Structure 1
């Protein structure tokens, strides 16, 4: 482990930055954070982190919490205090259109994953991607600080990853919930909450992930694939 604001071999994870109604005032609105300006300002910070991560050849994973419209996969979220959310067939099926990403034409070494639970690691292929890129640290931005960001940080912690939550790049339904989320996250890993400036400067100094560079150059993790023939191991 390292004290670096982005760890040794980082990946950037953007959590649940999905479309929704801009006039919602309920607890899913997630317009409170560590910067003034509401959700718009938080999304601007997320775009800034994404830009530095791309330039640094860091793998990026975009996550969405999505559920079937009949709620067959909703599980214990029926017991939660949240209104219904993240349903296929609604605006939530798409990432916020203010984000610097085109879901129909993804950049190399960037991926979209749908999840069913708060924890991004739960029954998704996230760990397969992280293993491919030899990741030891996940840098987290997105929504909500006190729920999905917190639970994903917890999931990373349980799986022996370091995590770094970008404080200005996360949001919650209220200032109180945002701060409570950050407090719980810091309890798990005291180095786990970092400033936007520290993270972007560290990305700028990062030498880049060699697998990402290969994907950008060739379009594939391994340019040569196919059956292994006798003697090819030498």
Structure 2
């Protein structure tokens, strides 16, 4: 059930890090998202996100890294063909890798336990991805949101969470947009959906420090699996 006590992290959180990919040299300037609630631009967003990721790892919280990727012939681009944005996040470009300053393997091949890379084709991280399966496995009720853009993929993922009965907490120092106006619009839209849905980094990391940890994350860390009971189930219902 969605938590209603106003906790900065809910009862069983997961961290979603959204679209912090390397830029395409041909479009990087046009797509830069360095307007946030803190000084320092994109570098500061990466730095604060690393702080948030470290807190989530220490607290035994699942971490899910998202990449928006499209085919180079735009066959899966859909309605983004009507967007004001230039072509972006194409396969075969630098966008296939996570940003090199993030505290994670840029290819997503060497991840800590209970961390995953998920590719998406649309703004909303829930749209036709395995996200809901992962959240169900870890019994998550609240998604912590970091990444870009505040007004697009972060906002649409917050909306997707809201529609699916999850609480969301966009961590304000860890999200950014192309302009200050668009950043503020994104925050306002998320606060309209869930007034407690935008929180400060210190509040979130402080709550994570007090969190007892997700038992499934601990099991995966210790054994490499969410459960030891795997394999064929007996057809003998008496067992």
TM (norm. structure 1) is 0.96
Runs (4 or more) in structure 1 with deviation over 4 Å come to: 230-234
- Name stretches of at least 5 consecutive residues in structure 1 with no aligned partner: none
Report the equivalent of 1:35: 38
Residues 1:176 and 2:176 aligned together: no
1:53/1:72 CA distance change after superposition, 3 Å? same
Distance (whole Å) between structure 2 residues aligned to residue 192 and residue 57 of structure 1: 22
Distance (whole Å) between structure 1 residues aligned to residue 83 and residue 10 of structure 2: 34
CA contact (8 A) 2:24 2:88 kept: no
Q: Give SS of 1:25's match.
A: helix
**CA deviation map 1:162-210 (0-9, x unaligned):** 0000000001001111011100010000000000000000000000000
Residue correspondences, number: 233
Q: Give SS of 1:119's match.
A: coil
Q: Identify the match of residue 70 of structure 1 among 70, 73, 79.
A: 73
> After the TM superposition, which residues 53-132 of structure 1 pair with which residues of structure 2 at under 5 Å, given as runs?
53-102=56-105, 103-132=108-137
**CA deviation map 1:6-37 (0-9, x unaligned):** 011000000000001589432x1001101101
Q: Give SS of 2:29's match.
A: coil
Q: Give SS of 1:33's match.
A: coil
Distance (whole Å) between structure 1 residues aligned to residue 235 and residue 19 of structure 2: 46
- Name stretches of at least 5 consecutive residues in structure 2 with no aligned partner: none
Cα displacement (A) at 1:79: 0.5
Distance (whole Å) between structure 1 residues aligned to residue 97 and residue 170 of structure 2: 23
Distance (whole Å) between structure 2 residues aligned to residue 207 and residue 232 of structure 1: 36
TM (norm. structure 2) is 0.94
Cα displacement (A) at 1:229: 2.1
Report the equivalent of 2:51: 48
